[in-house]
Amino acid sequence: MMGHSACGAPARPSPSLTPVTVQLRWVHNAQFAGLYAADQNGYYADEGLAVTLIEGGPTVDFIQSVIDGDAQFGITNADGLILARAAGNPVRAIATIYRRNPTVYMSLGDSGITRPQDFAGKRVRVVPASLPILHAMVARAGLTPDDYTEVAIAENLEPLFAGEIDVSSGFVTNEVLVAQAAGKDLNLIFPDDYGVHFYSDTIFTTDQLIAENPELITRFLRATLKGWVFAVENPGEIGAIVQHYNPQADVAMETRKMTASLPLVNTGEDRIGAMKGEMWAGMAQTLREQEVLTRALAIDDVYTLQFLQALESDQR
């Protein structure tokens, strides 16, 4: 579907529009609803931008894509950005969209596995990106990875349904909906309930763009966050909007994904996109405890609030 970004053409084309490319972390779906809404509703064009949205996926290095200049902006998980910065990459977060993490651990309803303590002796499917979250959660429950078996298998729920594994990681905005659509009764175990708080989808750019063209970043972020406000206020319209980018999308399922993401995006604490220094510091601390983050890192180098603050002062 890469070639389908032509559908991302702005609503009001004009030769004066500045081209901007965004590297998504996954294939086109409701996870990126606000970007699609900003594009389709002309918010980017209003800011003088012509935005192309490039699909990610399991084989795409979405941080490297931005470092290499193939895209000016990217979407990644916050802990991945911390590790990229610690490795010396000049990338920095400018806003966080999923301020609550969609990662959840699922077991079948009749399995008796309802909390992390119950993972002892069980087979737990994980994806590498969510290992720090899993390890931090089981550590709070007094377990280590030696107490259960970690299984890396295909991205679907059949092994859970078939009893080949006991617990599967997934997203409350995706796999949980798929399982419910299949009529399965699930126990859901949320890392947030055990004090493990990780931001998920975060918009980032490079130090170079921040230094050289802060005005472009402000314009891009203003339109994007306006798009996210639209998506949160009009979840029923998102399925059809996703189809512009992925014609094979199931409109009803994409709308359900958007609805499931509402509490992750619109947490009720502050404006959509807002970030907190103490959350970034907490994530870094958890990654250190898990010995995932081993290099020296000034956490303030991983994010900047300057663009969110510029938009706040606009709105006063």
My answer on whether 227 and 255 are in the same domain is yes
Q: Provide the 3-class DSSP secondary structure of residue 123.
A: strand
Q: What is the CATH number of the domain that holds 298?
A: 3.40.190.10
Number of structural domains in the chain? 2
- Of 304, 265, 288, nearest to 91 (Cα)? 304
> pLDDT digit string (tens) for 68-94?
999 999 999 999 999 999 999 999 999
CA distance 152 to 155: 9
Determine the pLDDT at residue 6.
44
> Which residues span the domain enclosing 202?
2-100+198-315
**pTM reported for the whole predicted model:** 0.89
| Helix, strand, coil share of the chain (percent; to 5) | 45, 15, 35
Domain stops at, among 133, 167, 194: 194
Determine the pLDDT at residue 58.
80
Determine the pLDDT at residue 316.
60
Which residue stretches of the chain have pLDDT < 70?
Answer: 1-15, 154-155, 315-316
Determine the pLDDT at residue 2.
43
Determine the pLDDT at residue 15.
65
Structure letter (DSSP) for residue 36: H
My answer on whether 86 and 214 are in the same domain is yes
Determine the pLDDT at residue 153.
79
